[in-house]
Amino acid sequence: MILLIFPNTSSFPYHVMTPLSIFTVGTYLEGRGIDVEYYDERVQNRRELDEALEKKPKLIGVSALTSLQILRGLSLTSYVKQGCPNTPVVWGGVHPSMCPEQTLAEPPIDYLVIKEGEETLYELYQHLRRGRPALNTIAGLAWKDKEGGIHINRDRPFLDIEELPFPYQGKAGELLSRYLRPNTNFPTVGYQMSRGCPFNCRFCYNDFYHNRICRHKSPSLIRKELERLISLGVDNIFFYDDSMGGQKSFLRELVPVMEGLALKWSASPRIDCIDKKLIRNFEKIGCQWLFFGLESPLDHILKYIRKGITKAVIDQGVEIMRDSPIIVTYSLMIGFPKEIYQDALAVLDFADELHRHHPSAEIVIQPYAPLPGTELFEEAKEMGFEPPSRLVDWSYFTMDRIHTPWLSKWPLFKNVYLISFLAFRYEHILSGLRRFRWAYFLSHKLAQFRWRHRWFSFYLEGLVYRVYTQWQYWKARK
């Protein structure tokens, strides 16, 4: 048996979404006759983990992103090692793939799956059971020898995603009901039509992880799997795809696929892939929310980060979306290497422009975070950024923190993420949460006032938030 673990991802009580990173791998393994158990600590209690450990799994897998999930992953790894000291632990996910040596330097972690994990994990399981294939022949695997030496095998060719099993069957299908939230305004079930992105934004993990290759499922398979989701009681999904397939032609093909389905959906396409006709069709086929990564209103910054769009393209897309009932989120970034103070100020001014032109839209401004494996990571180090020396320290690389020395010198931007989030995203993200609703509403009104007057200092609300998150991180270490 293999136990797959999905640690908690955030100190904030966001809406919990299905963990496709372990469900896709698990259903692949089940299809090859392997018993799989899951533990998502966001929806399952510790007793369920203990029951899985009592079955003495042959291998334990942990998924990790750059966030609190690393800290929780390390804590859970230590916990399962206490219960099953002889069971090897393998980590996988975007962050371990970007930092294999640093990840394997952690004593409780025995193996690492780099990039796509389905076939690599299957071959590792066969090695542990039968002694073959040999470890050094398993593509996509990193491992430690008896002396502690780290070995990184060759990359594995990409899978044909048309051949992957439906991710909500078997044990994953049994857990699906824990994520369903009928009549919510936020999707909690994820579905993936494609893997990868054909663009090469210099700050994004995709260039490293997917080599700028985008693989799509066929329209007939997408339709079939969406119908299966509906039959399981799902009525609201989020397409996990990077850039929603990255091609306008793919988006156009999606329209007839979705016609007639009783399904609300959300996604994150590129703004240069939409047009007025496409958005009108999206409205007819259940589109509820679209997230657009604009990054900057400045053409020289867009060119510098190789976003592949211009301010004129952004303006055209905003003009299309302002007349649509679809909820829209525009995401902006500040603090790229070689960005000057006036460039960052222009982002704030552009947020005001967006709000005037599209008042119902959500706007979020996040500080640039250098991620290993990306092209800008090396430039950031040249400018004084010091990456964490330990795996656990990447747990603090969240959007509500400043990570680069040049941006930390500009006090105005220290709290810009939290204030923009509370000022512009309250209705969609926070208004439906039941716990602490009054506190969210009060913070929302204060953030609107602060934003209008650019009064970002003496941020007492932010101090309360940071005390809360520090407490959550303290608990996560336990």
Per-residue confidence band for 36, with pLDDT thresholds at 50, 70 and 90: very high
Q: What angle do CA 368, 371, 374 make, to 5 degrees?
A: 105
For residue 336 the two structure tokens come to: 């790229």
Q: What angle do CA 230, 232, 235 make, to 5 degrees?
A: 40
The model's pLDDT over 314-363, given as tens digits with 9 standing for 90+, comes to: 999 999 999 999 999 999 999 999 999 999 999 999 999 999 999 999 99
The model's pLDDT over 127-185, given as tens digits with 9 standing for 90+, comes to: 999 988 999 999 999 999 988 899 999 999 999 999 999 999 999 999 999 999 876 67
pLDDT at 456: 87
Q: Which of 291, 353, 277, 284 is nearest to 327 (CA)?
A: 291
Total count of residues recorded for the chain: 478
Q: Where are the domains of the chain?
A: 2-152, 180-371
Q: Which residues contact 476 (CB under 8 A, 6 or more apart)?
A: 8, 11, 68, 71, 72, 75, 395
CB-CB contact of 329 with 288 (8 Å): no
Q: What percent of the chain has pLDDT over 90?
A: 80
Chain-wide mean pLDDT for the chain? 93
The model's pLDDT over 226-248, given as tens digits with 9 standing for 90+, comes to: 999 999 999 999 999 998 888 89
Q: Which of 242, 338, 238, 244 is nearest to 296 (CA)?
A: 338
Q: Which CATH class is domain 180-371?
A: alpha beta
Q: What is this structure's pTM?
A: 0.94
Residue 446 Ramachandran class (φ > 0 left, ψ -120 to 50 alpha, else beta):
alpha
Q: Which CATH class is domain 2-152?
A: alpha beta
Which DSSP category does 93 fall into? S
